[in-house]
Amino acid sequence: MNWEILGIWLGALLTLSLYSFLYRDNPFYKFTEHLFVGMSAGYWVIYNIFNVLRPNLWDRLTGAGEAGPDLWMIIPAVFGVFMILRLVPKVASLSRFALAMIVGTGAGLSLVTTLQTNALAQVEGTILSVTGGGLSEFLDSFLLVAGVVCGLVYFFFSKAHRGVIGGAAGIGITILMIAFGASFGYTVMARISLLIGQAQFLLFRWLPTIPLFRGLAG
């Protein structure tokens, strides 16, 4: 049996089953959707067991490394058990302690990173000189600074958006819509790239396995 051909046919049939949703909801689409979700869940369970829990918890707790047993790992182990106890209704409330620890620790650890990347770096990026360089650099810097200022004015609600402030807020709305449109367009382009990739797979990998279309392989 040619396992490569079998894999191509399985991939093609699953792809066509997913695209069949464009016609209407049907059992083929449901089967493929459930298969994808189930395989993804199974993959990440195995991945987390062997690449997260085992090296970071079990090996350190049992002393599999050179440092010997780390008894402090009992604490995260207990919290992990609390998370699993969500499946038991009578003691499901214990999972709140683990969730509180996860949310609090995650918020504390990400506070500095988020502040540096989403606040300070953005502010630093708008501190530009509009006098140096040529005309193109001046226009780029001016548009960036003006766009940031007008965007901030739109979110300034302490004064009515009338007159100069209203005009700046209107420009800010336009700039925000352009930014959102560009972001959405980028997402659409990424999805179209995936569609093109699957179409190429069907045309140049799957169809050539059928004798009638074998010439497409070249």
Concatenating the DSSP letter of every residue in 112-164 gives: HHHHIIIIIHHHHHH---SSSS-HHHHHHHHHHHHHHHHHHHHT--SS-S-HH
What CA–CA distances, in Å, run from 196 to 17, 149, 204?
17, 40, 12
Per-residue pLDDT tens digits of the chain, which is 218 residues long: 588 889 999 999 999 999 999 888 999 999 999 999 999 999 999 999 999 888 888 888 887 766 678 888 889 899 989 988 888 888 889 999 999 999 999 899 888 888 888 788 878 777 766 666 677 888 888 888 888 889 889 988 888 888 889 999 999 999 999 999 999 999 999 999 999 999 999 988 898 888 877 765 55
Domain spans in the chain, listed from the N-terminal domain onward: 128-205
- pTM of this structure: 0.65
> Do residues 94 and 85 make contact, with C-beta atoms less than 8 angstroms apart?
yes
